[in-house]
Structure 1
Amino acid sequence: MSKVGENLSLANKFNHTTNHVFVFLEIFVHEGGIQSYVKDIFRAYQKLSADYKAEVFVLRDSPNSSNPWESENLKFYGFKTQSPQIGRFKMTLALLKCLLLQRPQHVFCGHINLASLIQTLCQPLGIPYTVLTYGKEVWEPLNARERHALTSASGIWTISRYSRDRACAANFIEPQQVQILPCAIDGNKFTPGAKQPELIAKYGLTNARVLMTVARLWSGDIYKGVDVTIRALPQIIQAFPEVKYLVIGRGDDQPRLAQLAKDLGVSDRVIFAGFVATEQLMAHYRLADAYIMPSQEGFGIVYLEAMACGIPVLSGDNDGSADPLQDGNLGWRVPHRDANAVATACIEILTGVDQRCDGHWLRSQAIALFGMDAFQKRLQELL
C-alpha cells in the first residue's frame, strides 16, 4: 500500500473527532482492582455527553478481543503480540498517528510504566496529558525518566489521599498537582441479602458468626493481614465461641497461614475458600457478619463492596482505607499488625451496638459517597 493509501486507511479508522485518548497496560486479560477501576471509568464515560469521543489503546490486550465497552464514543485498540517489544512498537506507531490525525484535547496515561512514552509523544505536539496512579507503583522513588514524565504532566489522578501523599513525598510532587478520583461501588451489583443455605453448608458455617476477608494469599502480600486476624481469633473466640473465619483468595502463602492456625489451635475455625469468581462474590459477602482486613491499601474497594452489602468493616489505620471508611466514621480502623487491636474491634463489631453495624445506614452512606452517580459526577468535573 502506498504511503498516501496507508494514511487514508488510518484516517478512516479514526473517523470521528476524538476528545480524549486513554492508554493502558491491560484491562481484560486479568481481573484485579486496577482493572475494575478502569472499567468504572469506561462505564461513567459512556454516560457523559454523547459529544465525548475517546480512543483507548491497550498494550497487553488482544486486538480482536470483544469487550462490552466498545461503543460509538469508546473505540478500543489492542496490541498484544508474542513479542512485547513488537507490541509496544506497534502501539507507539498507532498512537502517534492518532495524535497527529486527531489532535485530541487530552491524553490519559493509565500507568506510570507508560508515562515516559506518553510524554515523548505528547509534548512535541503540545497535547496535555494526565497520568493515572493507583498505589504502590508510585509510593517509592521513581527512576529519573518516570519522575520527569510524572512531574511534567498537566495533571495526576490518584484514588485516595493516602496514595497522593505517599507519591508526593517519594517523588517531590506538589500535592495540589494531584486530583483524586476515588474507587466506586456498583450498588446494583452489591446488595444486602440472606445467607445462602447451600454456602452455609458448603463451608460449615451453621450457627456461626462469620468474619471474612477477600485477598490474595501471596507471600509478597502479607500486608493484607490475614495472619493478624488468625492471631486475633483465640481472643475473639473467648467472647464469641461460635466465630469462624472465612478467607477467600488463593496464593502461595496459604500453607503458612494454615500452619499458623494449627499452631494457635484455631484450624477448625479458619476456612480457606480458595478463588471465588467475581459474579459469586456478592453471595459470599452476605455470609459475613463482619469484613476484616487490617491491611495497607491504596484505597480498598473490598471495603465498599462489603458496606454496599450491609456488612460492617475493619481496616488498617495508616493507608488509603481512610477514604472508604471516612476516617473511621463508617468502620473500624486499627493498627494493621496489632492482633490485640483487631480482636478488640472484632468483638465490638460482633456485639453490634455501634451505628457502624447498621447495615442499611452503612450501605446508604457508601453509595451516596462512592456510588456510580458520584463517580460519574467526579469524572465529569475532572474532564
Structure 2
Amino acid sequence: MILGVFTGLTEHGGIQRYGRHGAAVIATLARSRGEDYRFMGLNDSVGQHEIETAGVSFPVTGFARNKLAMTRAVMACARGVRLAYFNHPNLAPLGLVIRALNPAARYIVSTHGTEVWEPLPRLRALGLRCADRVTATAEFNAAKVVALQCVGRERIAIVPCALDPEFAPPTGAAAPRPHPGEPPIVLTVSRLMSAEHGEYKGIDTVIEALPEVLAAFPGVRYVVVGDGDDRPRLEQLAQRCGVDQQVTFAGSVDAAALRAFYAACEIFVMPSRTEGFGIVFLEAMALGIPVVGGNHGGTPEVWADGTAGFLVDHGDAHALAGRLKLLLGDCDLRARMGAAGRALVASNFSFDRFRQNFGALLV
C-alpha cells in the first residue's frame, strides 16, 4: 500500500493545497494499479473526511493534532507499506518509524519554504536526511535543504506548486478587466499573522509606498484580502501614513469572492522578504493580472523581472512605488505582462505538470 501522511488536508493554505494535489496523484496512481492507499491528516478533525481536488475524490482520516494516536496508526500499517509520503518535514520522523518496522519501505518528504531555512531539530533533520527522496518547490529552497539540513542535492526533486484546476480560466479566456473610469485597485492576498508580520509579506512596504503612488494616481485603492492578528497593526500603519481611506482590509473571503477580488484589480502585489513560492501569484497570473513580488526566496523562479511582472527588493518603498506607477500608467504594459503570466502558468504550473513531476517519484 501507499501511505500518505499530511499536516492537514481540510484546512486552507499553500502547504495544505500542495498536500491535496499530492494526495490526488497518489490516489489516481494507486487505483490504476489496484493498490491500496491510506491518507492521514494530523490537524484534521477526528474521523474520516472525503476530499475532492482536481476531479479526484479520496478519504483522509483526521487525528485532531493527536500525534500519539497518529503515530500508533502509522505503526499499525507500517509493515504493509511500499511507499510513504510525508508532506512536511515535521512529519519526517514517522519515516524513521516505518523504516524501523519495514526496512524495505521507501519514503518521500516534501519541503516548502521557511520551515527548512533554519536547521531543523535533530530528529526531524534525521528523518529528512534518511528519506529516499525530498521535494522542494524551487531551487532556492533546495539549496537551503542541502546547506542547512545536509541532504544530498541528488536526492532532491524540484516539484513546483500548481494552480488548482478549479481556479484556472477556460483555455484562451482572459479574466474580465475593470471598466474604464473605475478606480484602479492594487490587490494583496495573504494571511495577516503577527508571528510573520506584514513586513514578511511586504504589506508594510505597500502601505508605505501608497502616498507616492496616490500623488500620481489619486483614485488608487489598495485591497488586502486575508485576516489574522496582525491586522490592527497594519490598519494603524495605514492611518499613520495618511492612506487609511484608500486601504481596505477585506478579511477572509470564500472562493467566489476571492476570484471577484482578483477580477476587479489591475495589479497584484506581494513584495515578500522570504517566500518559498507563493501560490497566490499563480492565481493572479492565471487571470491575466500583472504581478509585483519580492526579489527574494523562490519568487524569482516563478517569473523573470519584466516578463509577467516586476521584482523589487524587500522594504524599498520608493522602488515599489515606481513599479506600481509604471503599471498603473500603461494599460498596454499591463496587458502584455498579464498575457505572459497566463502563458507561464499554463506551461509550467498546471496541475498536469505537477502530476507528471510528482507522479514520477511514486513509481
The equivalent residue for 2:61 is 77
- Alignment pair present for 1:325 and 2:307: no
SS of corresponding position for 1:276: coil
Match of 1:218 among 184, 193, 199: 193
How many Å apart are 1:255 and its aligned residue? 2.2
Please give the residue correspondences for 1:127-166 in structure 2 after superposition, counting only pairs within 5 Å: 127-166=105-144
How many Å apart are 1:253 and its aligned residue? 2.1
Q: In the alignment, is the contact (CA less than 8 A) between 2:48 and 2:61 conserved in 1?
A: no
The equivalent residue for 1:88 is 67
The equivalent residue for 1:9 is none
Q: 1:130 to 1:272 in 2, by over 3 A?
A: same
How many Å apart are 1:117 and its aligned residue? 2.6
> Structure 2 counterpart of 1:207, which letter?
E
Q: 1:22 to 1:66 in 2, by over 3 A?
A: closer
Unaligned runs of 5+ in 2: none
How many Å apart are 1:252 and its aligned residue? 2.3
SS of corresponding position for 2:167: coil
The equivalent residue for 2:352 is 373
Q: 1:69 to 1:326 in 2, by over 3 A?
A: same
Match of 1:288 among 247, 265, 280: 265
How many Å apart are 1:327 and its aligned residue? 6.0
In the superposition, the TM-score normalised over structure 2's length comes to 0.88
- Alignment pair present for 1:179 and 2:157: yes
The equivalent residue for 2:228 is 251
Distance 1:308 1:72 in 2: 22
Please give the residue correspondences for 1:339-358 in structure 2 after superposition, counting only pairs within 5 Å: 339-350=317-328, 351-354=330-333, 357-358=336-337
Distance 1:69 1:186 in 2: 11
% identical aligned pairs: 33
> Structure 2 counterpart of 1:113, which letter?
N
How many Å apart are 1:141 and its aligned residue? 0.9
Distance 1:327 1:178 in 2: 26
The equivalent residue for 1:23 is 5
How many Å apart are 1:105 and its aligned residue? 2.4
The equivalent residue for 1:207 is 182
SS of corresponding position for 2:343: helix
Q: 1:327 to 1:173 in 2, by over 3 A?
A: farther
SS of corresponding position for 1:325: coil
How many Å apart are 1:46 and its aligned residue? 4.2
Distance 1:356 1:307 in 2: 11
> Structure 2 counterpart of 1:77, which letter?
T
Distance 1:354 1:206 in 2: 18
The equivalent residue for 2:44 is 61
Q: In the alignment, is the contact (CA less than 8 A) between 1:53 and 1:74 conserved in 2?
A: no
Distance 1:311 1:272 in 2: 20
How many Å apart are 1:119 and its aligned residue? 0.8
Unaligned runs of 5+ in 1: 1-17, 198-204
Distance 1:155 1:275 in 2: 36
How many Å apart are 1:76 and its aligned residue? 3.0
| Aligned length, in residue pairs | 350
Cα distance per residue 1:250-291 (max 9 Å; x no partner): 122222222222222222211111111234211110111000
In the superposition, the TM-score normalised over structure 1's length comes to 0.83
Q: In the alignment, is the contact (CA less than 8 A) between 1:289 and 1:312 conserved in 2?
A: yes
SS of corresponding position for 1:220: coil
- Alignment pair present for 1:315 and 2:293: yes
Q: In the alignment, is the contact (CA less than 8 A) between 2:4 and 2:23 conserved in 1?
A: no
How many Å apart are 1:135 and its aligned residue? 1.4
Distance 1:337 1:238 in 2: 20
Distance 2:56 2:183 in 1: 50
Q: 1:72 to 1:92 in 2, by over 3 A?
A: farther
Match of 1:44 among 22, 25, 28: 25
Distance 1:240 1:196 in 2: 16
Bigger CA drift: 268-277 or 89-98? Answer: 89-98
Distance 1:302 1:73 in 2: 24
Distance 2:63 2:242 in 1: 51
Q: In the alignment, is the contact (CA less than 8 A) between 2:95 and 2:131 conserved in 1?
A: no
Q: 1:148 to 1:373 in 2, by over 3 A?
A: same
Q: In the alignment, is the contact (CA less than 8 A) between 1:45 and 1:376 conserved in 2?
A: no
Q: In the alignment, is the contact (CA less than 8 A) between 2:292 and 2:311 conserved in 1?
A: yes
Q: In the alignment, is the contact (CA less than 8 A) between 1:196 and 1:283 conserved in 2?
A: no
Q: In the alignment, is the contact (CA less than 8 A) between 2:137 and 2:159 conserved in 1?
A: yes
Distance 1:72 1:334 in 2: 38
